[in-house]
A and B are shown apart, each in its own frame.
Chain A
Amino acid sequence: MATTDVAIQHAGRPASKPIVNDMSIQVATVNGSGSQSSNTVLLRTIFQMGVPVSGKNLFPSNIAGLPTWYTIRANKDGYIARKKEIDFLVAMNPETAQEDVLSLGDGAVVLYDEPLNLRSLRQDLIFYSVPYDKLVATVCPEAKLRKLVKNMVYVGVVARLLNLDMAEVEKAIRKQFARKVKAAELNLAAARAGYDYAVASLTKQDPYRIERMDKNKGKIIIDGNSASALGCMFAGVTVVTWYPITPSSSLVETLIDYMKEYRIGPDGKATFAIVQAEDELAAIGMVIGAGWAGARSMTATAGPGISLMSEFAGLAYYVEVPAVIWDIQRVGPSTGLPTRTSQGDVLSTAFLSHGDTKHILLFPSSPQECFKFAGEAFDLAEQFQTPVFVLSDLDLGMNNWMSEPFEYPEKPIQRGKVLSKEDLERLGGFQRYKDVDGDGIPYRTLPGTEHPAAAWFARGSGHNEKSQYSERPDDFEHNMERINRKFETARSHVPRPEVHTGKSKIGIIAYGTSHWAITESLDQLRGEYNMEADYLRVRAYPFTREVHDFIEKHERVYVVEQNRDAQLLSLLKLDVSPERITRLRSIAHIHGLPLDARSVTDEIMTMEGK
């Protein structure tokens, strides 16, 4: 049978000029089949060979049995955004195989499970088939494990076809199954079986190859949620409350693991408390209670949780209590694509709650920034005595990213304007909501401070400077204006944008994970259309001066976002002068997949009329 196969494969197109270290591989499997391990091993192998690589998991909201796709992109130039075109398909899922093959571009490669018999579908593709079940039976005597091990066989086949080093595959497998020696051996045998089969029975016809580079030295592979978790631990978080929700759960679960490992004191007791709350309403309530009492407290959630936290967020804003809220954005509400990525919570979070509220938002775009912004978020929350929202997303949070290792935070933890017993003895007393320093930020004391003048009454917006209940119009107005002053002060303290400006009249504004598509798109615009564009990556709200300057300097500013309603653009409209608003153009991306460069480039060129 194998011979026939090879014969047919020979009948395919002759191998053209090699394409080295530039391809996207898509693996189509069924979720719950162990494919996640196989895909991670494949990703790691390429990473270990020094080739820039990224992985995007496109998975269903389901535990087992539904289609899932994993896309690995290897790119010598370091582009790690999702690539729209698939070069190499590993078709393992009978349910999607036909459609997967039919949607490929001309010349793509298909590696399929033999019984799927996909070859007849297209004449313009390169096909390889592998009898996975037969191969896996030889290495895995235990029938019920075969389903899980089967996927590791294709790793071996791909390794052979793409010229991956089997020693690196082995290293990646051993890392993946570090705590399960037996599983490691079994998976290794499966990968080898695939490799050996390919050596014996498949003849290379496609041009794709991986060759060693030296671009990943010292780098790590991490998902954004783990990076955020590490960041929170090193930021000195003490109280974490949460309610499970995709895609944020892994942030807290990873944090629990790290904290148990590194934040248990010499007495065997925890220097933290992590509580799974009954819902998001309680999670945010606990964060606020803990923040009020002086803890560095946080929660992590996604859009539906953010909605539930709305009322409390407003109370925290007016009581002026620090809180850190991670929003790992996804598509919503209810069952609306909970496992797809989005930047759809920007507007609702910026003004979360009723009455006049506006919040500090941070937009990390990489694991490194997840780590760094964790510290920033806690410092800002305590310095400004207000909730701070970190808007990550599913793409950043749940996918594996290459990253430079994180730098140890050198800046001491900033606890803000908190008066101690000694301060009160010196001052005689204080007024909770008085703007002593002119920056809008008042002083606070923590419950438990042993001084007769320490206590203040935490309540909603109706209070005077002494935190006494007041319905007087002037008290209310003064308070609202002071809090606004505080927000204005925050403008010069939040992370500044990253700006790349030249002499172009065209500017691009983006944030979060869109960044990776933009950097590639800028090169496409330059290389394919000879068009230079400047770029500003927003990293926080309120917008700093650089954002205004950027809009001022450009005739047309494309605001690229992963939402329908141009949410960041809407925030910009509120900030810039009316005559500048017409410069802003929206490029919206809303299909739930990570943003790709080609879509951005095409859209810009269309809007530029070219």
Chain B
Amino acid sequence: MASTSTPTPKTNRIGLSVMEYKGGKTTLCAGCGHNAISERILEAMYEMGVQPERLAKLSGIGCSSKSPAYFMNRSHSFNAVHGRMPSVATGAVLANRNLLALGVSGDGDTASIGMGQFIHLMRRNLPIIYIIEDNGVYGLTKGQFSATADVGSKLKTGVVNDLPAIDTCVLAIQLGATFVGRSFSGDKKQLSAMMKAAIAHRGTVMLDVISPCVTFNDHEGSTKSYKYMKDHDEPLHEVNFVPAFEDISVDYDPGTTVDVTMHDGSQLHLRKLEEDYDPTNRIGAITRLLEAHEKNEVLTGVLYVNTKAPNFIDLVNMTDKPLATLPQEVTRPSRKVLEECMEELR
């Protein structure tokens, strides 16, 4: 008998193994960018020690919106109607402010049918992580252009898109989201760090993650293909995230990083690749994004972050306990109150 001791399964800071964060088997195409994003979400939740029961996964309709079934089975999930997940998420967060809301959407679900709700979600700065799994194409209905497809982008059938792309990041920054980033499903390191920072943020996090569709939009002429992204991805910085519960000092030369302290005390270190980029400057961020379009670059990284703005929960002045579980003694005023109201009406 070999005297090897049984290895204790590795667990996170709340004592759960990574298995406790797994979901069902994916039914998306092999190589779909969305699967990689699911992996990053799962890892980030595990590494940040998020209690799975605290997470509420919400999605709309489309390939992207199927993906919440493929990670974190121990979390509640709501597959809503097309483009209208933001309202369901808003209701859920109002009902239980302790939930960590994660919305998973796609470019069709967000930038076309869901544009109205997307805009109003951003402007409320509701605490939520909103991810667009962005491939520029409708996958589940077999390959029609979405509104994030770039001008000149070509479908497999040869059809060329001649309408300008909606930049969801520009919109999110302009409308009031307080953590806006763009990443690429193939950039494991960057996306992981951004996901973890997203969990530490209290406000609307909007991440547009370019996620190539291997079946309908990964060919020559597409601007959302793996190849195009490899050639045109312009990272603004190296994203490094240090959670509050980890005591790690990151040594960077002074002046080479932008450091942001998140709501829970975590540190977001952005090592500058572009000397002048300041992610706390709204106008600068929008300008740089518009410039990138002119240059056919896909700018990635944390585009904008603001940890000072009040979120929607602060604004509605809600009590600290979840509204959902308030007892009758709190939610039904007394007999005396009714009598008072009746007297006023006599």
Where the two chains meet, the residues of A that have a C-beta atom closer than 8 Å to any C-beta of B are 218-222, 230, 233-239, 241, 258, 262-263, 265, 267-275, 277-279, 281-297, 311-312, 315, 319, 405-406, 408-409, 412-413, 445-452, 454-460, 469
Contacts and interface: CB of A to CB of B under 8 A. Distances in A.
A295 B92 CA distance: 8
B22 interface: no
Interface stretch (B188-196, B228-236, B336-344): B336-344
A413 B91 contact: no
B99 to A, nearest CB: 6
B74 A271 contact: no
A409 B335 CA distance: 9
B346 A219 contact: yes
B333 A233 contact: yes
Given A241-B91, A269-B319, A285 B117 contact: yes
Nearest to A323: B91
| Smallest CB-CB A-B distances: 4 pairs | A289-B91, A285-B87, A294-B324, A236-B331
Contacts of B87: 241, 277, 281-286, 288-289
Nearest to A311: B81
Contacts of A412: 328
Interface stretch (B48-56, B161-169, B201-209, B301-309): B48-56
A28 B274 CA distance: 72
Interface of B: 20, 51-54, 56, 58, 69, 73-81, 84, 86-96, 98-99, 116-117, 119-120, 316-320, 322-326, 328, 330-333, 335, 337-338, 341-342, 345-346
Contacts of B337: 262
A235 B328 CA distance: 9
A294 B96 contact: yes
Contacts of B99: 293, 447-448
Contact of A281 (B84, B96, B328, B330): B84
Contacts of A448: 53-54, 56, 76, 96, 98-99, 322, 324
B173 to A, nearest CB: 19
A409 to B, nearest CB: 7
Nearest to A284: B87
Given A278-B117, A281-B116, A413-B328, A294 B81 contact: no
Contacts of B120: 277-278, 282
Contact of B53 (A220, A278, A451, A457): A451
Contacts of B95: 238-239, 289-295, 297
Contact of B96 (A218, A262, A447): A447
A221 B346 CA distance: 6
Most buried by B among A221, A271, A447: A447
A368 B40 CA distance: 55
B319 A446 contact: no
B91 A455 contact: no
A469 B69 contact: yes
A399 to B, nearest CB: 14
Contacts of B54: 448
A452 B324 contact: no
7 contacts: A274-B316, A282-B120, A297-B91, A409-B332, A448-B76, A455-B74, A469-B69
Most buried by B among A263, A273, A278, A315: A273
B326 A238 contact: yes
Contact of A458 (B79, B316, B333): B79
B53 A460 contact: no
Given A230-B341, A455-B76, A272 B88 contact: no
Contacts of B80: 285, 288-289, 315
B342 A406 contact: yes
A277 B94 CA distance: 13
Contact of B338 (A271, A319, A406, A451): A406
A263 B333 CA distance: 7
Contacts of B328: 236, 412-413
Most buried by A among B91, B92, B120: B91
A412 B81 CA distance: 34
A293 B95 CA distance: 6
Given A289-B90, A413-B331, 17 more contacts: A220-B346, A233-B333, A271-B326, A273-B316, A275-B90, A278-B117, A289-B87, A289-B93, A290-B91, A293-B96, A413-B328, A448-B324, A449-B53, A455-B77, A458-B78, A460-B79, A469-B69
A287 to B, nearest CB: 6
Nearest to B78: A458
Contact of A446 (B20, B96, B342): B96
A280 B188 CA distance: 39
B342 A405 contact: yes
A289 B323 contact: no
A478 B37 CA distance: 35
B88 A286 contact: yes
Contacts of B58: 289
B53 A238 contact: no
Contacts of B20: 452
A413 B93 CA distance: 22
